[in-house]
Amino acid sequence: MRVEVDFDLCQGHAECQAEAPDWFSVGKGSGAKVRAKRGEVPADQLPAVKDAVKYCPTQALRLVED
């Protein structure tokens, strides 16, 4: 699985970073956007990434099967 970010929906709330800090990084300031690692989500990080997707207030994240 890999994660995709809809940058049009992202508002920089940083919930993803709070749930999976090893996978997501959110810039500071107004208009901040999430930066996600690219590639396959490792199995040991998948639960945290799933929580990040679940708790994103704007539903800007989604998991995609390759």
pLDDT at residue 52, as a whole number: 95
pTM, to two decimals: 0.86
- Domains of the chain in start order, with CATH, are 2-64 (3.30.70.20)
**Residue 22: Cβ within 10 Å count:** 12
Tell me whether strands 34-36 and 24-26 are parallel, antiparallel or unpaired: antiparallel
**Percent of the chain's residues with pLDDT above 90:** 53
Residue 34, judged by CB atoms within 10 A of its CB (0-12, 13-18, 19+), counts as buried
Q: Residue 3: is its pLDDT beyond 80? A: yes
Q: Residue 28: is its pLDDT beyond 90? A: no
Question: What is the distance between the alpha carbons of residues 49 and 31, in angstroms, rounded to a whole number?
Answer: 22
